[in-house]
Amino acid sequence: MKRLVFLVLPVLAGMPCLAQWEYPPTKTVDASDTYFGKTYHDPYRWLENMKDKDVEAWFKAQAELTDGLLAKIPGRDALVQEWLALDNLKPAAYSDITYEHDRVFYKKTLGGENVGKLFFREGWNGQEKLLFDPATYKAGVNTTIEDFAPSWDGKYLTIGFSSGGAEYSEIRILDMERGTLLPDSIYPSVGAGEWTPDGSSFFYLAPNGVDTKSLDFKLNAKTKLHRLGTEIVTDVDYFSNQHYPELGIAPKETPSVYIDESNPDYIIGRVGTVQAERRIYYAPISEMTSQKIKWDVLCKSSDMLVRGIEFLGDYVYAVTHAGAPKYKLVRTNVKHPDWQHAETIIPERADSIQSITKTRHYLLIVYSNGVVERIVKYDLATGKTTEIKLPMSGTVGVSCPDWKTDRCLVRTTSWTTPVTIYDFDAQKDTFAKSMFNTDVVYPGFEDLISEEVEVPGHDGTMVPLSIVYKKGIPLDGSNSCILEGYGAYGNSMTPYFSIKHSEAIRGVVLAYAHPRGGGEKGQAWYKAGYKTTKPNTWKDFISCAEYLIKKGYTSPQKLGGAGTSAGGILISRAITERPDLFGAAVCNVGCANAMRMEFSPNGPVNTPEFGTVKDPVECEALFEMDGVQHVQNGVKYPAVMGVGGWNDARVTAWQPGKFIAALQTASTSGKPVLMKVNYDNGHFSEEKLVNIKNFAGQDAFLLWQTGHKDFQPVK
């Protein structure tokens, strides 16, 4: 057992008092891999066996130590209560708004409620009726509605139930007329499935087996067809590598099937991984009952279709980055698709396309410059484009639940402005507050401001950085600061409102880096933080940290860094490359052991994004991304907390766990290195109380270790 003795020293006023504790014993093993003539040692490999009793005991001991220390931070529980009180101010939050057969379906979560309930209305203006309360599903089990899908005739509803933050669902079918669940039960599944036109059957994605921690769980998945009232064991393998070996579907690829209601003449089969470029097959609806469907190619990955595809009449519209790094909108004839000679509908512009949505007469295209978004309307009849004047500036979300009309929903938000939902009339270009909108004023938030800057990166590239803080704070380096970053998959960290921003009212600077690897500046920005160029991601994050320090927003001992999921690469490499730059860091359900990712259940599907150790160039790139491999003995690392979800099927808890084990052995800074284990959570959870407690604990750790006065344990 490694015993760390910390002396109470008058380092800086307001810094946490150092304490004395013992880490749980962590053994090492003689494990290594040799790739292309180079050996990579892995002494904590044993932690990967999550079913081993010693591994379970290690995580349990780490969790008990961490929970005990977090409980002594006075500001943590106060933060939980503060966020719960702010949440209670909002009458209701609405999500997953869906329209089918003159019925509007949605989830509604009241302020103070832990999870959402399922409701519907007969028409947009009908009386609200409760469809299903997940609290009644299983006694003693906190259940959430992961997903739902109404049949085309509105008679049935598939509901995907999950618990403990698991991302795999048990599908049940709700009879709308009787208000009861049919006996059919399917587990596990991804989502709630897709209905056939006659409402008698639905497609669902079935993983390989029921063990979510198995390395084979996500390999060789199948889309199956279930007919209501039949035995699950008789469900047909409808689309898979086993059923269609001639399509070359790899074991790691996910085959899914749906029928687009706006073009019901075709069955659509999509083959996907995390790679954004789409690979889609299709067949006439007449083939639906064939034992062997004759699939034709709708598009290949090489066609570079991303960020949206819509069927409208004789055409299929899509966004592509072929010859357009910031994307353009094109179309081709659905009967004879030819993307190499597709007609350009809207050429590439200065900002990048984020999404497309169809209405009866228009396509609505959302553009973003990385921070501010806008909507362009394309008239399907005339080909004319119109810029839509939005009611506010910031992030924009567009959905058109009833594509047969021109009525849509537009959500707007920013770092300091709560979400507002508008009914948008695409014919008249008018906005009106939606019945789903709930205005609320959060006390103290009026004193917050947001600032958008660009920071010179290590190679001179200008990196966007968003900063949220309270008016009038001193820029003398005395502020605790939490800097977050992601930078993967081409996803943009666009401005969003959160009750978590109440921390800024306490004088905390909240900053959001937009490093390469994200999509803030288009396809080229994404590819500049991808595989062999991935170091730009954490180097951009480091540049943002240096800027915040240089400008007096914070100082190294006051700066906390955070990265979630793929952002685990960013934070684990930022603190191993520049440990002097951070006072504390959180690696939240983070990929911190990149060389071992593909040997986890969700790993193979992610090799298109990060690479594989089977390729010499990509193997070296994975080594560069690997936080565990870059931990060095005798270095003064910042305080670090790893966070793992025990039910996490995306990033297994051993990823941050191995990083923490290495740091506990190596660090000589005298700062705590802890492993938080959420046994009631997965990668994420809809459960509000679980989420609030989780993130309050993470931020309390960062604010404790960066010296914020409200988060110092009593001596």
pLDDT tens-place string over residues 205-259: 999 988 887 889 899 999 999 999 999 999 999 999 999 999 999 999 999 999 9
pLDDT class of 13 with cuts at 50, 70, 90: very low
Residue 681: predicted pLDDT: 86
Of 168, 164, 158, nearest to 194 by C-alpha is 158
pLDDT class of 502 with cuts at 50, 70, 90: very high
Q: How far apart (Å, rounded) are the C-alpha atoms in residues 227 and 611?
A: 39
Q: How far apart (Å, rounded) are the C-alpha atoms in residues 182 and 156?
A: 10
pLDDT tens-place string over residues 556-576: 999 999 999 999 999 999 999
Q: How far apart (Å, rounded) are the C-alpha atoms in residues 119 and 93?
A: 12
pLDDT tens-place string over residues 174-217: 999 999 999 999 999 998 999 999 999 999 999 998 888 788 98
State the average pLDDT over residues 107-113.
93
- Per DSSP bridges, beta strands 559-564 and 584-588 are parallel
State the average pLDDT over residues 142-171.
93
Sorted by where each starts, the structural domains of the chain and their CATH numbers stand as: 58-85+445-710 (3.40.50.1820), 93-258 (2.130.10.120)
Token representation of residue 667: 């660090």
Contacts of 171 (CB under 8 A, 6+ apart): 158, 159, 160, 161, 184, 185, 186, 187, 189, 192, 193, 204
Question: Does residue 35 carry a pLDDT above 60?
Answer: yes
CB of 148 within 8 A of CB of 159? yes
* 639: amino acid identity, one letter: A
pLDDT tens-place string over residues 309-319: 999 989 999 99
Mean pLDDT value across the chain:
94
pLDDT class of 21 with cuts at 50, 70, 90: low
Residue 12: predicted pLDDT: 31
Question: Does residue 350 carry a pLDDT above 90?
Answer: yes
State the average pLDDT over residues 491-512.
96
Backbone angles phi, psi at 87, to 5 degrees: -65, -35
Q: How far apart (Å, rounded) are the C-alpha atoms in residues 352 and 337?
A: 25
State the average pLDDT over residues 45-65.
97
Q: How far apart (Å, rounded) are the C-alpha atoms in residues 447 and 131?
A: 40
CB of 635 within 8 A of CB of 667? yes
Give the CA dihedral 175, 180, 183, 188, nearest 10 degrees: 80
Q: Percent of the chain beyond pLDDT 90?
A: 91
Residue 17: predicted pLDDT: 37
Residue 415: CA count within 13 A, CB half-sphere: 24
Token representation of residue 189: 């599944």
CB of 152 within 8 A of CB of 100? yes
CB of 577 within 8 A of CB of 542? yes
User: Any idea what the Cα angle at residue 699 is, between residues 696 and 704, rounded to 5°?
Assistant: 115
CB of 624 within 8 A of CB of 657? no
**Burial of 139: CB neighbours in 10 Å, binned 0-12, 13-18, 19+:** exposed
Q: Percent of the chain beyond pLDDT 70?
A: 97
Q: How far apart (Å, rounded) are the C-alpha atoms in residues 127 and 181?
A: 22
Distance of CA 297 to the CA centre of its chain: 30
Strand-pairing partners, residue 378, are 363, 385
Work out the number of other CB atoms within 10 angstroms of the CB of residue 122: 13
Residue-by-residue DSSP string for 688-709 = HHHHHHHHHHHHHHHHHHTT-G
Residue 10: predicted pLDDT: 30
| DSSP 8-state symbol, 15 | P
Residue 437: predicted pLDDT: 95
User: Three-state SS across 596-628?
Assistant: HHHHCCCCHHHHHHHCCCCCHHHHHHHHHHCCH
Backbone angles phi, psi at 447, to 5 degrees: -90, 0
- Per DSSP bridges, beta strands 236-239 and 296-299 are unpaired
Residue 9: predicted pLDDT: 29
Contacts of 374 (CB under 8 A, 6+ apart): 351, 366, 367, 368, 387, 388, 390, 396
Q: How far from 518 is each of 301, 454, 527, 549, 586, CA to CA, in Å?
A: 20, 15, 9, 23, 20
Backbone angles phi, psi at 290, to 5 degrees: -70, 145
Residue 355: predicted pLDDT: 96
CB of 95 within 8 A of CB of 106? yes
Token representation of residue 388: 């839509």
Of 390, 404, 394, nearest to 369 by C-alpha is 394
Question: Per mean pLDDT, which range of 143-157, 408-422, 512-526, 678-692 is the poorest?
Answer: 678-692
Q: How far from 507 is each of 44, 557, 709, 710, CA to CA, in Å?
A: 40, 16, 10, 11
**Burial of 114: CB neighbours in 10 Å, binned 0-12, 13-18, 19+:** middle
